[in-house]
């Protein structure tokens, strides 16, 4: 599709219905503060309808935890936001750029959206420092020295600056995940997506990763977190989304969500997860 | 306290004599069971039968610098066939007074290869040295510039032809193979289809037939008056052939890199080329070092097939030497020598690959 990806500025009315992203935002809540706008999103894997009519607006600085049973589409949803998964219907606008098949748009959005994976996905052939500087140097065109400075700053923030010269394989799972968080932060993203960041960790390492995420939350980062860490949701989330079979069943503030779930499905889920 | 005492005394105990030293080694490796003991004895007997006569033939009774006639009188090896004809075997029909040029090329290739074998010597300078020497060889062999007497490609022969065909073949085929592998994995249907077609077509054809096509059929398609020399055509056939095989191996490597690596690279905002060059290919190519070297080794040996289109590689110059009445009948010696040369080439390639794997292991 051929609207102007650069700044979200009006491409002088080629396709009126998507001419000016800020227009469409005015009808959603929060308008100018909205950083992610998802409307009428559908996705299929073959015949399987994995996301059904998702509508979601995320404001700058907002922290959302998405939970739900496995296979409910929660990972797919956040993976749609940086186009690791392609959606077939509906709109996704990130930072005033609409996700289309235009690869330049996609790359631009990906640079602004950090992602932390369940299995860390650090680059095993590069040192920790190289893992962190790769994005800034090649995508942001930051000089190497500056990128390394930034990298060391973020490594310090996640308390593993002493591991900078090592390789991912030499680190524990918790350390690797913190490196992965630092790697995303080095890109100075506007939004951070977390796809079950603690699910692959040994129990005693969960806390160190959650602590890093809480610290990040306290600094006002916009975060979308797919997680079953209900303690984390309670302490930092502004909103909790509950998804089941491709739909957002319920969303509420964490206090309300945990104390007064409205839907039967949510109650069942919570009773199973909070022993 | 008791525990620590026990530990020190336990550490002081020496292993039994039969499990260390020469005796221990012999026991463990040669006589660790009835079957192995029998095999050891049989092998020793066979070696006793074979080695002394071989030694006598190859060294004691052998002649090194005699004439062919003298050779026929002896029972030992006639290495003279090599020493007398060394220049022809190695450089073939290259003009006699110009043979320093192929010699330089061979020394360059072997020297650089030996130097490159240790990955800790790798540097930008070395890469430049390779580049410069490839160009230098491209000037030295044909000549015609810098006051060098021009030499027809038809006269290039012997070991220099073998090495040049291999070296240029492998350096071009490898990147071409990588590009084809990427093409085969491309999302763009046209590129993918072309890569698949190319790879399957080439892999379905023997190298010999490709060489025939290059030497016989290809010129028919060229317009009148334009000729591409035979060596270049053979070289192209070798490159196209090897690249298809490398492509399949590299594709395997690309598939072995976990999906998460692609996703992590993409989620940073890297574009396709950055993703491939910085993240995927370094991992994929490392995974496929062993099969890749296998292909390069067989490509090196397959260069000897160029004899059938009338090029004089190392094998052919040796055959020509042996067809000289004076040296007829000494093929054992000559082919042993050729085998040793090929073995050295192949073995150093595979030992290089092992070093490379070790250096990249993480």
The domain spanning residue B244 has which CATH number? 1.10.3720.10
| Size of chain B in residues | 362
| Residues B264 and B246: beta-carbon distance below 8 Å | no
State the helix-helix crossing angle for B159-184 and B189-203, rounded to 10 degrees. 140
B339 within a domain of the structure (yes/no): no
Where does a domain end: B39, B60, B81? B60
B266 within a domain of the structure (yes/no): yes
Are B181 and B49 found together in one domain? no
The domain tally of chain B equals 2
Are B180 and B303 found together in one domain? yes
B338 within a domain of the structure (yes/no): no
Whole-angstrom distance, CA of residue A231 vs CA of residue A254: 10
| Residues B156 and B102: beta-carbon distance below 8 Å | yes
This model of the complex carries an ipTM of 0.85
∠A119-A122-A123 over CA atoms, to 5°?
135
> pLDDT in tens for each of the 275 residues of chain A?
444 444 434 333 333 333 344 444 334 444 578 999 999 999 999 899 999 999 999 999 999 999 999 889 999 999 999 999 999 999 999 998 999 888 888 999 999 999 999 999 999 999 999 999 999 999 999 999 999 999 999 999 999 999 999 999 999 999 999 999 999 999 999 999 999 999 989 888 999 999 999 999 999 999 999 998 888 999 899 999 999 999 999 999 999 998 888 999 999 998 888 76
Are B53 and B163 found together in one domain? no
∠B165-B147-B143 over CA atoms, to 5°?
15
Give the domain range for residue B286. 159-311
Where does a domain end: B268, B285, B311? B311
Are B164 and B56 found together in one domain? no
Are B305 and B182 found together in one domain? yes
| Size of chain A in residues | 275
Are B169 and B52 found together in one domain? no
Taking an 8 Å cut-off on Cβ atoms, the answer to whether B267 and A84 are in contact is yes
Taking an 8 Å cut-off on Cβ atoms, the answer to whether A113 and B267 are in contact is yes
Ramachandran angles phi, psi of B257, nearest 5°? -75, 125
B198 within a domain of the structure (yes/no): yes
Taking an 8 Å cut-off on Cβ atoms, the answer to whether A187 and B270 are in contact is no
B243 within a domain of the structure (yes/no): yes
- Closest residue in A to B284 (Cα) is A125
Residue B321's closest CA among B83, B62, B107, B104? B83
DSSP element (H, E) containing A50: strand A48-59
pTM: 0.81
Whole-angstrom distance, CA of residue A214 vs CA of residue A227: 13
Are B47 and B171 found together in one domain? no
Residues of B in contact with A125 (CB under 8 A): 282-283, 286, 360, 362
Report residue A201 as tokens. 């960790």
Alpha helices in chain A (DSSP H): 21-26, 74-81, 103-112, 128-138, 144-157, 173-186, 203-218, 230-236, 254-259, 264-273
Are B287 and B165 found together in one domain? yes
Taking an 8 Å cut-off on Cβ atoms, the answer to whether B269 and A110 are in contact is yes
What DSSP string runs through B287-350? HTHHHHHHHHHHHHHHGGGGGGGT--BHHHHHHHHHTSGGGTT-HHHHHHHHHHHHHHHHHHHH
Residues of A in contact with B275 (CB under 8 A): none
Give the pairing of strands A63-67 and A239-244. parallel
B355 within a domain of the structure (yes/no): no
DSSP label of B16: P
Instruction: List the single best residue of A109, A122, A134, A183 to mutate versus B (max B Cβ within 10 A).
Output: A134
- What sign does the CA torsion over B53, B59, B64, B70 have? negative
From residue B235, how far is each of A167, B164, B240, B298 by CA, in Å?
42, 9, 9, 15
């Amino acid at each position: 599709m051929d609207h102007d990806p650069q700044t979200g500025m009006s491409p002088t009315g080629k396709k009126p219905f998507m001419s000016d992203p800020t227009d469409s935002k005015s009808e959603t809540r929060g308008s100018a503060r909205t950083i992610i706008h998802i409307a009428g999103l559908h996705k299929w894997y073959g015949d399987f309808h994995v996301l059904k009519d998702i509508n979601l607006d995320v404001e700058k600085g907002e922290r959302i935890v998405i939970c739900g049973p496995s296979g409910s589409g929660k990972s797919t949803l956040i993976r749609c936001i940086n186009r690791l998964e392609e959606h077939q219907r509906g709109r996704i606008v990130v930072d005033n750029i609409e996700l289309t098949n235009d690869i330049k748009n996609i790359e631009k959005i990906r640079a602004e959206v950090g992602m932390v994976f369940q299995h860390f996905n650090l680059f095993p052939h590069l040192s920790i420092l190289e893992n962190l500087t790769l994005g800034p140097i090649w995508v942001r065109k930051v000089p190497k020295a500056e990128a390394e400075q930034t990298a060391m700053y973020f490594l310090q923030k996640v308390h593993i600056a002493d591991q900078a010269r090592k390789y991912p394989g030499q680190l524990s799972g918790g350390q690797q995940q913190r490196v992965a968080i630092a790697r995303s932060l080095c890109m100075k993203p506007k939004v951070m997506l977390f796809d079950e960041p603690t699910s692959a960790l040994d129990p005693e390492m969960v806390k160190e990763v959650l602590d890093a995420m809480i610290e990040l939350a306290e600094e006002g980062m916009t975060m979308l977190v797919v997680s079953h860490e209900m303690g984390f949701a309670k302490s930092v989330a502004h909103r909790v989304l509950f998804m089941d079979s491709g739909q957002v069943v319920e969303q509420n503030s964490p206090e309300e969500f945990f104390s007064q779930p409205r839907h039967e499905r949510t109650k069942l889920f919570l009773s199973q997860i909070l022993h | 306290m008791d525990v620590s005492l026990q530990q020190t005394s336990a550490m002081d105990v020496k292993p039994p004599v039969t499990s260390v030293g020469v005796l221990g080694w012999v026991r463990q490796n040669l006589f660790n069971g009835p079957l192995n003991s029998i095999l050891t004895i049989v092998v020793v007997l066979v070696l006793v039968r074979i080695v002394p006569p071989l030694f006598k033939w190859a060294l004691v009774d052998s002649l090194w610098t005699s004439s062919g006639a003298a050779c026929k009188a002896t029972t030992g090896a006639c290495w003279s066939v090599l020493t007398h004809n060394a220049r022809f075997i190695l450089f073939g029909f290259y003009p006699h007074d110009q043979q320093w040029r192929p010699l330089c090329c061979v020394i360059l290739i072997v020297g650089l290869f030996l130097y490159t074998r240790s990955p800790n010597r790798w540097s930008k300078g070395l890469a430049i040295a390779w580049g410069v020497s490839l160009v230098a060889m491209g000037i030295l062999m044909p000549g015609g510039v810098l006051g060098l007497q021009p030499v027809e490609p038809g006269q290039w022969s012997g070991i220099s032809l073998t090495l040049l065909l291999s070296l240029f073949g492998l350096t071009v085929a490898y990147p071409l193979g990588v590009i084809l592998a990427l093409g085969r994995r491309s999302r763009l249907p046209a590129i993918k289809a072309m890569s698949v077609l190319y790879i399957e077509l080439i892999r379905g054809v023997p190298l010999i037939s490709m060489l025939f096509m290059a030497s016989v059929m290809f010129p028919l398609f060229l317009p009148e008056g334009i000729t591409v020399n035979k060596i270049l055509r053979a070289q192209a056939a070798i490159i196209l052939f090897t690249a298809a095989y490398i492509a399949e191996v590299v594709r395997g490597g690309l598939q072995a890199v976990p999906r998460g690596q692609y996703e992590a690279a993409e989620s940073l905002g890297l574009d396709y080329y950055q993703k491939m060059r910085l993240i995927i290919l370094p991992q994929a190519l490392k995974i496929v070092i062993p099969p890749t070297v296998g292909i390069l080794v067989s490509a090196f040996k397959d260069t000897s097939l160029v004899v059938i289109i009338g090029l004089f590689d190392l094998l052919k110059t040796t055959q020509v030497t042996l067809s000289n009445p004076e040296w007829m009948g000494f093929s054992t010696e000559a082919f042993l020598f050729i085998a040793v040369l090929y073995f050295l080439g192949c073995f150093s390639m595979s030992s290089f690959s092992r070093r490379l794997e070790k250096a990249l292991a993480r």
